């Protein structure tokens, strides 16, 4: 996961600060040194780190911090605010043209997933009820046009191309004409890339930009290449005046420094982040939420948005009623697992919870997606009566279920045990609610 090591290092620093009733200048000096090392190890640009820590140190040494009743917490709050500002302060949504179709030109090096993210952006725009036309202007990479056409078919989005044409200027001109005639809301232009930045690439992109006059020129950058991605963004911006960046593969095993450095180095906002391979795994970039994730405070707002986008409201109400009465069946359990899977990789969901879910006893919890598939197979192999009344599940029935689901008796026992533990937790929560001890922690559950 991105920022995992950075989050760990910073949390160690904050744990020490929280433990001190009064902070001295030496304490802050030590903390700032650790913050500096943590950022450098995360591949954040050196000049950015130097300026960031200097400004942070100056504010941390102010009287309002040193005289505060909770100085450690005040420093953490300050780091959160400064980190948010460094990454752009607020989200930068797409700008739409006041008249005619909005034209978005996608640029970037070859191999960064540019064409895929044209599809992801089209999917995102569908959620905003925008009708898009994709223009296949990458005439150099083999199968680029075919790839875009396949994405268009999957999404139900129109793709414009000219068969056997090797002239991207002509394709873009004709594509925009088609969009205007067809009253499309948005045109997304998939341009060619190169393995590295060269004069020929920039010349072509500059000419295309003059023809298209795009509202947005978005650069697709691979976060996995670390500091190089910042340098790439700087070069493209100097020659094309890009309006925003799409940072891909931020869900991978990356140090994440690009997300922190890019805005400060280029002045261009990160508009979107790619958080997976699926077409719906493109997220609007919120600096404040990312800062919160980096500092181990979670990202509850994004978690709620994911839940709202995937969970059926009526099913959720029905489940909450059963939850409060501790009436959960295996069918309900299976339904919740399915909805949870729809929200994306479970490790990503845990990462959005404060302390990555550690506060809930999930410290070293590793999600095994294969076990979820086994769990589904086991429950689906039960009879209707067994799903409703787990007390029927004797040894013979468990053996039959294992054979029917292609699993072992031990796997079946594990699923039944997890289900029993969940029901016990439900009863405890329901009891706490009746006794006036809050809402029973229902809000802590992603599917609630």
Beta-carbon contacts of residue 210 (< 8 Å; ≥ 6 apart)? none
CA-based nearest residue to 79, from 226, 292, 275, 248: 292
CB of 368 closer than 8 Å to CB of 346: no
What's the rounded mean pLDDT across residues 49-63?
81
- pLDDT tens track for 209-265: 999 899 999 999 887 776 777 888 888 888 888 999 998 887 655 566 777 888 888
Give tens-digit pLDDT for 304-353. 555 555 556 566 566 566 655 556 778 877 777 776 666 655 555 655 55
Using an 8 Å Cβ cutoff, are 152 and 159 in contact?
yes
CATH number corresponding to 303-444: 1.10.260.30
Which residue(s) pair with 273 in the sheet? 247, 283
C-beta of residue 205 within 8 angstroms of C-beta of residue 129? no
Integer Cα distance of 429 and 425 in angstroms: 6
pLDDT of 224 reads 75
Express as a percent the part of the chain with pLDDT over 70.
Answer: 74
How high is the pLDDT of residue 192? Answer: 85
pLDDT at 262: 83
Residue 270's nearest CA partner among 219, 214, 306 is: 219
Where residue 87 falls among pLDDT bands split at 50, 70, 90?
Answer: confident
Among 237-246, 287-296, 374-383, which stretch is predicted with the lowest mean pLDDT? 287-296
- Least confident span in 20-34, 122-136, 330-344, 430-444: 430-444
Is the per-residue pLDDT at 85 higher than 80?
A: yes
User: Using 50, 70 and 90 to split pLDDT, how confident is the model at 173?
Assistant: very high
In the chain, domain spans: 4-86, 102-290, 303-444
CATH number of this structure's domain 4-86: 1.20.120.140
Query: In the β-sheet with 132-136, what is the strand arrangement from edge to edge?
Result: 158-160, 132-136, 186-190, 102-107, 216-222, 244-248, 270-274, 282-284
In angstroms, the CA 130 to CA 143 distance is: 27
pLDDT exceeds 60 at position 376: yes
The DSSP line for 210-229 is HHH--SEEEEEEEGGGTHHH
Q: What is the mean pLDDT of residues 40-59?
A: 84
Q: Among 17-21, 161-165, 283-287, 319-323, which stretch is predicted with the lowest mean pLDDT?
A: 319-323
pLDDT at residue 142 is higher than 90: no
Look up the CATH number of domain 102-290. 3.40.50.300
């Amino acid at each position: 996961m991105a920022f995992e090591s950075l989050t760990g290092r910073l949390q160690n620093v904050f744990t020490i600060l929280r433990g001190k009733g009064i902070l001295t200048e030496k304490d802050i000096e030590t903390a700032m040194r650790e913050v500096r090392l943590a950022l450098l190890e995360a591949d954040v640009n050196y000049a950015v780190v130097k300026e960031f820590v200097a400004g942070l140190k100056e504010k941390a040494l102010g009287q309002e911090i040193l005289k505060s009743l909770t100085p450690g917490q005040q420093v953490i709050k300050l780091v959160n605010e400064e980190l948010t500002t460094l990454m752009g302060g607020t989200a930068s949504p797409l700008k739409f043209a006041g008249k005619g179709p909005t034209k978005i030109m996608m640029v970037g090096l070859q191999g960064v997933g540019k064409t895929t993210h044209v599809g992801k952006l089209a999917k995102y725009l569908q959620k905003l009820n925008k009708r898009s036309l994709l223009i296949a202007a990458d005439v150099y990479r083999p199968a680029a046009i075919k790839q875009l056409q396949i994405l268009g078919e999957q999404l139900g989005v129109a793709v414009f191309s000219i068969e056997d044409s090797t002239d991207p200027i002509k394709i873009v001109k004709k594509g925009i004409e088609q969009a205007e005639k067809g009253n499309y809301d948005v045109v997304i232009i998939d341009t060619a890339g190169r393995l590295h930045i060269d004069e020929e690439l920039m010349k072509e992109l500059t000419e295309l930009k003059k023809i298209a006059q795009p509202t947005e020129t978005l650069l697709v950058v691979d976060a996995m290449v670390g500091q190089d991605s910042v340098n790439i963004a700087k070069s493209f911006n100097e020659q094309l005046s890009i309006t925003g960046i799409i940072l891909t593969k931020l869900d991978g095993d990356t140090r994440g420094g690009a997300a922190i450095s890019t805005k400060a180095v280029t002045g261009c906002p990160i508009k979107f982040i790619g958080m997976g391979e699926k077409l719906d795994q493109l997220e609007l970039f919120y600096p404040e939420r990312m800062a919160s994730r980096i500092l181990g405070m979670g990202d509850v707002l994004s978690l709620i948005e994911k839940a709202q986008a995937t969970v059926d409201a009526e099913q959720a109400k029905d489940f909450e009623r059963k939850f409060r009465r501790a009436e959960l069946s295996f069918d309900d359990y299976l339904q919740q697992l399915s909805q949870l899977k729809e929200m994306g990789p479970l490790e990503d969901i845990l990462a959005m919870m404060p302390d990555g879910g550690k506060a809930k006893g999930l410290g070293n919890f590793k999600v095994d997606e294969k076990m979820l598939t086994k769990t589904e197979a086991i429950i689906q192999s039960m009879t209707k009566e067994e799903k409703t009344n787990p007390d029927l599940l004797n040894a013979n029935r468990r053996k039959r279920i294992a054979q029917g689901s292609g699993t072992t008796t031990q796997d079946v026992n594990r699923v039944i045990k997890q289900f029993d533990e969940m029901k016990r937790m439900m009863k405890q929560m329901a009891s706490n609610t009746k006794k006036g001890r809050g809402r029973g922690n229902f809000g802590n559950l992603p599917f609630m």
